[in-house]
Amino acid sequence: MPARTGQQYIDHLSTNPAEVWIGGEKVDDVTTHPAFRNGVRSLAALYDLQHNPATEDAMTFKSPSSGDSVGRSFIIPKTIQDLVDRREMMTNWAWESCGMMARTPDFLNCGISGWAGSAEYFSANRPEFRDNVLNYHTYIRENDLTLTHTLVNLQRSRNISISDRLEDRVALTVVKETDAGIVVHGSRILATLGPISDEIAVYPTRTHLLGDEAKKQAFSFALPCATPGMKFMCRESLDYGRSSFDHPLGSRFEEMDAVVFFDNVFVPWERVFLLGDVEMANKFAAATQSTSHTGHQVVNRTVVKTEFLLGLTSLMCETLGSTQVPHVQERIGEIIVNLEMLKACVRAAEADAQLNEWGMMCPSFGPLTAARTVFANSMYPRMAEIVQLLGSSSLMVLPAESDFHSEIAPELERYLATETAGAKDRVRLFHLAWDVACSAFGGRQILYERFFGGDPVRNTMLLYQGYDKTNAMDRVQRFLEREG
Ligand SMILES: Cc1cc2nc3c(=O)[nH]c(=O)nc-3n(C[C@H](O)[C@H](O)[C@H](O)COP(=O)(O)OP(=O)(O)OC[C@H]3O[C@@H](n4cnc5c(N)ncnc54)[C@H](O)[C@@H]3O)c2cc1C
């Protein structure tokens, strides 16, 4: 099947319902349920871009197996131009939500394509796992399926050892192996987009290393979300059913996060990619370089999100007439610096991309890691703070859309207009700023950016541990020894 339309995505979700729980209710159909349906619609709009004459060439490429036009994020890049073309495709998708939907399908499409481009890695103990990875990649590409993923075991107690302490009753664990496959039991966090995805990929993460004894927790596999025994337990929806005027982001871009419970879930062998080898599980991300591919999507999205924040803060200050205030300019200048640094990191990652040992072109890990780290640790939380600092009480002067149709409308028009904006335009803009920096949707965005790529502290420790510092130290040593 060629690249899907939005309606095909919706129909597939509706006819293959996963077990989804929210607020004490088991959901019949996420495509119509108020907690999910607008997020589903936003995702469907992305798929429609693959059929829009203005964008379809950028969004798709010819499948190497069927010759059909398939989603470009499924490409296994062979050249730097492939990466540049993929960035254009990802940028189109990211702008649809101003970077606020982070788990658009390109994220995992790039990741699984990264596995496929390094499929030999999976054959180390079990040659058939290589074929499983390749077949799975072809399957999701040709059916244009939407994926979620869960990499982390729930905390019972974290400790400061190098690897996570796992509790068999909590951590996702292989409880049985049969001729037909494996059976897994336990839980995983955190499936963003899970309830509105077709498939779930379950694999290890470099930020929560497995200990030597964790053979039964060392695996990688993928399943349909509608597999019996799998349950998605959602948080509260951030789509409160309000208009796009009142909640411009929450009413459109709820991508939902869920804990996943696995109750003796059967995984057929053809869906298993790695099993029982702790070292392979711990090295898997670095060896396949799949995180360079997902990182390409991530950092490109942060460019879009930062440019969106630049536009938002600039409009806010023009509306409030504060553009000549020096520290207002300085704060917006900080966003411009962030934007330029992020753009430079994407370009550097592409310019310094290299073929890996299996012939896949991989964006350079260094600039992507630097950008991800600084965006999570400081840039994004600070930019949300800048929105608050620049907006001040205007972030609370927020009559609802319905107030403009009520008896109080004349007073709103008289008192809330500024020198450059009518009352309704001002309020619409500041509803958007509030949804970025003050609402529950905005709070979740900050939490997401901080943590979705793993705990930032451990990520930075990994960077320190893996980074070659010898040249830098040698130079300092030579300077110390210099005479005169
Ligand atoms: C909004 C959101 C969406 C997410 N989406 C996904 C997703 O789609 N798929 C997915 O797999 N994951 C997802 N995650 C989960 C993410 O991978 C984890 O949150 C992240 O890896 C951190 O793990 P944790 O939440 O268990 O935190 P913990 O490991 O419990 O850490 C919590 C805090 O304690 C500190 N800490 C605890 N133990 C240690 C230790 N041993 N060493 C150093 N520091 C420690 C950490 O620095 C951190 O500050 C998402 C998270 C969020 C918040």
Q: Which residue has the tokens 């079990």?
A: 126
- Ligand 1 pocket test: pick from 154, 158, 159, 463 the residue with the most ligand atoms within 8 Å of its Cβ: 158
**Mind listing the pLDDT tens digit for each residue in 281-296?**
999 998 999 999 999 9
| 240-269 mean pLDDT | 98
Ligand 1 centre and the CA of 373: distance in Å? 14
- Ligand 1 pocket test: pick from 100, 101, 190, 465 the residue with the most ligand atoms within 8 Å of its Cβ: 190
**Mind listing the pLDDT tens digit for each residue in 184-204?**
999 999 999 999 999 999 999
What does the alpha-carbon distance between residue 387 and residue 437 come to, in Å, rounded to a whole number?
Answer: 6
Under the banding of pLDDT at 50, 70 and 90, the label for residue 160 is low
Report the run of H or E that residue 131 belongs to, with start and end. Answer: helix 127-143
**Mind listing the pLDDT tens digit for each residue in 346-374?**
999 999 999 999 999 999 999 999 999 99
Ligand 1 centre and the CA of 451: distance in Å? 6
| Residue 324 identity (one-letter amino acid) | Q
Helix (H/G/I), strand (E/B), else coil: 62: strand
pTM: 0.96
What does the alpha-carbon distance between residue 394 and residue 125 come to, in Å, rounded to a whole number?
Answer: 61
Ligand 1 centre and the CA of 190: distance in Å? 9
Q: Which two tokens stand for residue 410?
A: 């004349």
Report whether 144 contacts 311 (CB < 8 A): no
Give the model's pLDDT for residue 483.
92
Q: Are strands 147-150 and 173-177 parallel, antiparallel or unpaired?
A: unpaired
What does the alpha-carbon distance between residue 339 and residue 63 come to, in Å, rounded to a whole number?
Answer: 34
Question: Taking the CB of residue 94, how many other CB atoms lie within 10 A of it?
Answer: 26
Q: Where are the domains of the chain?
A: 287-469
- Ligand 1 pocket test: pick from 452, 461, 465 the residue with the most ligand atoms within 8 Å of its Cβ: 452
Give the model's pLDDT for residue 43.
98
| Residue 413 identity (one-letter amino acid) | E
**Mind listing the pLDDT tens digit for each residue in 336-348?**
999 999 999 999 9
DSSP per residue, 316-362: HHHHHT-TT-HHHHHHHHHHHHHHHHHHHHHHHHHHT-EE-TTS-EE
Cα torsion 214, 216, 222, 223 to 10°: value is: -140
Ligand 1 centre and the CA of 257: distance in Å? 13
Higher-confidence residue: 129 or 209?
A: 129
Ligand 1 centre and the CA of 454: distance in Å? 5
How far is residue 135 from each of residues 45, 67, 142, measured CA to CA in Å?
Answer: 28, 16, 10
From first CA to last CA, the distance across the chain in angstroms is: 72
Ligand 1: atom nearest CA of 458 is: 43
Report whether 305 contacts 99 (CB < 8 A): yes
Give the model's pLDDT for residue 257.
98
Q: Which CATH architecture has domain 287-469?
A: Up-down Bundle (1.20)
| Strand partners of residue 184 | 174, 265
What does the alpha-carbon distance between residue 102 and residue 213 come to, in Å, rounded to a whole number?
Answer: 34
Q: Is the pLDDT of residue 381 over 90?
A: yes
Report whether 185 contacts 166 (CB < 8 A): no
Query: Whose CA is closest to 196, among 135, 134, 239?
Result: 239
Ligand 1 centre and the CA of 94: distance in Å? 24
**Mind listing the pLDDT tens digit for each residue in 397-420?**
999 999 999 999 999 999 999 999
What does the alpha-carbon distance between residue 106 and residue 126 come to, in Å, rounded to a whole number?
Answer: 29
Ligand 1 centre and the CA of 444: distance in Å? 14
Ligand 1: residues whose CB is within 6 Å?
149-152, 155, 158-160, 189-192, 207, 257, 444, 447-448, 451-452, 454-455, 457-458
**Mind listing the pLDDT tens digit for each residue in 411-470?**
999 999 999 999 999 999 999 999 999 999 999 999 999 999 998 888 898 899 989 999
Look at ligand 1, atom 41, and give the residue with the nearest C-alpha.
160
Ligand 1 centre and the CA of 200: distance in Å? 19
Look at ligand 1, atom 48, and give the residue with the nearest C-alpha.
455
Under the banding of pLDDT at 50, 70 and 90, the label for residue 1 is confident
Give the model's pLDDT for residue 52.
96
Report the run of H or E that residue 184 belongs to, with start and end. Answer: strand 181-188
Give the model's pLDDT for residue 359.
97
**Counting Cβ atoms within 10 Å, is residue 67 exposed (0-12), middle (13-18) or buried (19+)?**
exposed
Ligand 1: atom nearest CA of 149 is: 9
Give the model's pLDDT for residue 133.
98
**Counting Cβ atoms within 10 Å, is residue 248 exposed (0-12), middle (13-18) or buried (19+)?**
buried
Q: Which two tokens stand for residue 354?
A: 């290299």
